[in-house]
Amino acid sequence: MGEQLATVRSADSLRESGLLEVRRSARRKKTVQARMRGKSMVLYVPDRLSRTQEDEWAVTMWNQIHGRRRARNQAMSDEALAGRARALSERYFDGAAVPSSVRWVGNQHTRWGSTSIQSGAIRLSDRLKAMPPWLTDSVLVHELAHLIEPSHNAAFRELVGRYPYTERSDAFLEGFSYGAGWKQVDGPPPE
């Protein structure tokens, strides 16, 4: 049923399906907020909102939330990710980095990607699916570089530096990790 109602045109269909709960508040003056609880959406609205405005907000918020979910679910497949890795290897390493497999995984909670040097398998955290494609490319380039140079030495840094957004993506992912509480940053900033 959730798939059928992924895009809705009226709040009545949500109400009839039991997928909408509206909470009015006299303390809430201007803002409208929505949160998913299981398959249902709880809509928090100011008390002064008319039923028509409430319905408009319910439809808008439902479609926004489910639009983001659809975009995440339509993210690159494992096969497409492997194809992207091949293209990046050709472009930045003249095809020298040849992984045995490339796939998304859901069990990497402190890393964005990993490479098994022995087997040549590359795994990327599925958290990257919700991020800009250039970040995924940067992590792929990093992991592909490990197939050529296993350690993080100067030769490795030169390989990774071929990707033009390396510094930008490193800063983005470090900031994201820090903000999420996954990583502590000690000492002065790099020069």
- pTM of the full predicted structure? 0.61
Report the pLDDT value the prediction gives residue 1, as an integer from 0 to 100.
Answer: 36
Report the pLDDT value the prediction gives residue 39, as an integer from 0 to 100.
Answer: 86
Task: Give one DSSP letter per residue of 2-69, joined into a string.
Answer: TTTTSS-S-HHHHHHTT-EEEEEESS--S--EEEEETTEEEEEEETT--HHHHHHHHHHHHHHHHHHH
Report the pLDDT value the prediction gives residue 186, as an integer from 0 to 100.
Answer: 66
Report the pLDDT value the prediction gives residue 71, as an integer from 0 to 100.
Answer: 60
Domain spans, the chain: 11-73, 78-179
Report the pLDDT value the prediction gives residue 4, as an integer from 0 to 100.
Answer: 41
Q: Which amino acid is at 157?
A: R
Classify domain 78-179 by CATH number: 3.30.2010.10
Please, what are the averages of pLDDT over each run of 10 residues along the chain (191 residues)?
59 89 93 90 94 93 80 74 96 97 91 94 92 92 97 96 95 86 66 61
